[in-house]
Amino acid sequence: MLRTGAEYLAALRDGRRIYYGGERVADVTVHPAFRNTARSFARIYDRKREAEHLGAMSFAEGGEQFTSWFLLPRTRKDLEQRAECHRRVAEWSYGLLGRSPDHVPAFIGGMAMAPELFDANRKGFGRNLIDYFDYLKSRDLFACYLVLTPQGSRDPKMYRDTGTASPALAVVSEDSDGIVVSGLKLLGTSAVFSDEAWIGSLIPLGPDQIQEAVTFAIPINHPGVEIWVRESFELRASNKIDHFFSSQFDESDGVMVFDNVRVPWSRVFCHRDIPLMRDMYFKTPAHVMGNHQSNWRFAEKLKLMVGIAHRACDMAGVINIPAIQQTLGRLAAAEASLLGLMAAQIDQHQSLASGHVHVNRRFLYAALQWCASNYAQVAEEVRSLMGAGPFLLPADTSVFDNPQTRRTFEKYWGLPTASADERYKFIKMAWDLLGSEFAGRHTQYEKFYGGPPHIMDLYSFFNCPWNERRAAIDQIIKDMASADDLTAPQNQAAS
Ligand SMILES: Cc1cc2nc3c(=O)[nH]c(=O)nc-3n(C[C@H](O)[C@H](O)[C@H](O)COP(=O)(O)OP(=O)(O)OC[C@H]3O[C@@H](n4cnc5c(N)ncnc54)[C@H](O)[C@@H]3O)c2cc1C
């Protein structure tokens, strides 16, 4: 099934409990903090059905059509199709929707390639996982995930022990029907726009956190579940010219609150198994397939930023200065390097005994590390190229409503490379992406979405073939003359 945008929007009106401060949001599809972004997500559902996109965005199985982000890859061609699907979704949202509908299925699909791991915890959990993946796939559902315990309530051996009761989500009881959970989970990016939530933990749990060692899925409107969202940038955006991106691509972040929530066993995938809580991401292709989507999304955002850099220099009349061209060249080289790493992930894909394939782990983690470590610097560099440009403009679009201010603005603000009107639109758009509070959230997102920055380096540490690297060093040392050789007569003679 390929849902329409209208069907997707209708499903959001399901009585979900969302709190904006003290206000209970009745309907995200009409609320001014969410309605435009809800439509941006709906557009993804409509566009993938259009004739020009249908080939890349869907596949046939058993006489039915499904979205490509649910394709479990068995060949290089499958990986290419998935990559193109991620790329198009990212292009349609300028890489600004990090948790677009293709993100979480890539994780769960990665797990579905190795379901036996779950049965080792409890027989039937592997079946639950496959059934859940098929459930999402057959209904074309949108899932978010919250895989972090709250700050201040983590493994006391590694983190500060606050000595207070932990607010972390934990199992409070269980019976033959399922489990009951209470507590907080973070961070639900896109949760208010999703149909389903996957709840687990990507960070290691300590032995005394066994009640928190649970992974399950629930519908967003499940009884007892609330989402507490951060301040909305869309709400503050006055119009699509002054705030082009924040007015329609504010995916929202929220904490999920669980108050005695019942989860049936059929939706539980891990219970009281601390190693499996993480192994399901790292001993299956889940983490690499999920972050492959993140890489494509980042690449589209980077292309946009590189384009802004060039246009900004052109407008400021500095494009012919060699030092500026050098800066632009560095940005272009960074973009090309990332695209090269993306191609290598597919070119050197890896296979599983099950017959499935996944993207190359080392190239994936190299790309992830590069993106997380360099976004802030790239954004800063492009913003610098804009100089004082953003502060030379009138406050807002009302300048065009008054004939007198409009005439003056058009007379004095025009440039050889852009009319006053074009200059206004470009700079407002670029500042929304690179200098606004919305931009600040993106800088934080790019640094943390895949985990804290030190982990980004460690993924590459854990996946490097160190023995191979060290073998050459050991050989050189072995081939070197021994200490005895150094004092042999011919050496003495030579000296
Ligand atoms: C905008 C945004 C969206 C997000 N979306 C999602 C989502 O959709 N789903 C989800 O589950 N999570 C999401 N996350 C959460 C993300 O996974 C976490 O931010 C990340 O794992 C870091 O955890 P933390 O924020 O609790 O920071 P903490 O772990 O509390 O760290 C605080 C600071 O200490 C540093 N630090 C911590 N431990 C160490 C160490 N051992 N060595 C050195 N430095 C250390 C960190 O780098 C950081 O600077 C999102 C985060 C952001 C910012």
Backbone angles phi and psi of 411, in degrees to 5:
-70, -45
- Nearest-CA residue for ligand 1 atom 44 is 454
Atom of ligand 1 nearest to the CA of 441: 1
- Strands across the sheet with 225-229, in order? 23-25, 17-20, 225-229, 254-264, 178-185, 170-174
Distance 363 CA to ligand 1 centre (A): 23
- Nearest-CA residue for ligand 1 atom 52 is 445
Distance 445 CA to ligand 1 centre (A): 9
**Where are the alpha helices (H) located in 93-241, listed in sequence order?**
103-112, 116-119, 125-139, 233-236
What is the CA 106 to chain-centroid distance, rounded?
A: 11
Ligand 1 site residues, Cβ closer than 6 angstroms: 99, 145-148, 151, 187, 189, 253, 441, 444-445, 448-449, 451-454
Supply the pLDDT for residue 495. 44
CATH tag for 286-466 (out of 3.30.365.10, 2.60.40.3140, 1.20.140.10, 3.40.30.10)? 1.20.140.10
- State the Cα torsion 227-201-81-358 to the nearest 10°: 180
Considering the entire predicted model, what is its pTM? 0.94
Residue 256, helix vs strand vs coil: strand
Q: Are strands 254-264 and 178-185 parallel, antiparallel or unpaired?
A: antiparallel
Token representation of residue 209: 């956190």
- How far from 258 is each of 129, 255, 316, CA to CA, in Å? 22, 10, 52
- Nearest-CA residue for ligand 1 atom 48 is 452
Atom of ligand 1 nearest to the CA of 444: 53
In terms of Cα–Cα distance, which of 69, 134, 113, 454 is closest to 294? 69
Count Cα neighbours of 33 within 13 Å in the Cβ-side half-sphere.
Answer: 19
User: What residue spans define the domains of the chain?
Assistant: 5-282, 286-466
Q: Domain 5-282 adopts which CATH fold?
A: Butyryl-CoA Dehydrogenase, subunit A; domain 2 (2.40.110)
Distance 203 CA to ligand 1 centre (A): 10
Residue of 104, 142, 231, 449 to test ligand 1 pocket, by largest number of atoms within 8 Å of CB = 449
Residue 446, helix vs strand vs coil: helix
Token representation of residue 24: 């209970």
Supply the pLDDT for residue 480. 87
Token representation of residue 188: 């639900």
Task: Give 181's contacts (C-beta < 8 A, 6+ positions apart).
Answer: 169, 170, 171, 172, 199, 214, 216, 258, 260, 261, 263
- Nearest-CA residue for ligand 1 atom 6 is 187
Supply the pLDDT for residue 152. 79
In tens digits, what is the pLDDT along the chain, a chain of 495 residues? 999 999 999 999 999 999 999 999 999 999 999 999 999 999 999 999 999 999 999 999 999 999 999 999 999 999 999 999 999 999 999 999 999 999 999 999 999 999 999 999 999 999 999 999 999 999 999 999 999 998 877 766 655 555 567 889 999 999 999 999 999 999 999 999 999 999 999 989 988 899 999 999 999 999 999 999 999 999 999 999 999 999 999 999 999 999 999 999 999 999 999 999 999 999 999 999 999 999 999 999 999 999 999 999 999 999 999 999 999 999 999 999 999 999 999 999 999 999 999 999 999 999 999 999 999 999 999 999 999 999 999 999 999 999 999 999 999 999 999 999 999 999 999 999 999 999 999 999 999 999 988 999 999 999 999 999 999 999 999 888 776 666 666 655 444
Identify whether the C-beta of residue 56 lies closer than 8 Å to the C-beta of residue 44.
Answer: no
Identify whether the C-beta of residue 332 lies closer than 8 Å to the C-beta of residue 306.
Answer: yes
Residue of 144, 189, 229 to test ligand 1 pocket, by largest number of atoms within 8 Å of CB = 189
Distance 413 CA to ligand 1 centre (A): 43
- How far from 464 is each of 344, 366, 461, CA to CA, in Å? 16, 10, 6
Cα 360 from Cα 280, distance rounded (Å): 18
Cα radius of gyration rounded to whole Å, the chain: 26
Distance 372 CA to ligand 1 centre (A): 12
Angle between helix axes 35-47 and 76-92 (nearest 10 degrees) is 140
Residue of 448, 454, 456, 459 to test ligand 1 pocket, by largest number of atoms within 8 Å of CB = 448
- Nearest-CA residue for ligand 1 atom 31 is 452
Q: Which residue has the tokens 């610098």?
A: 384
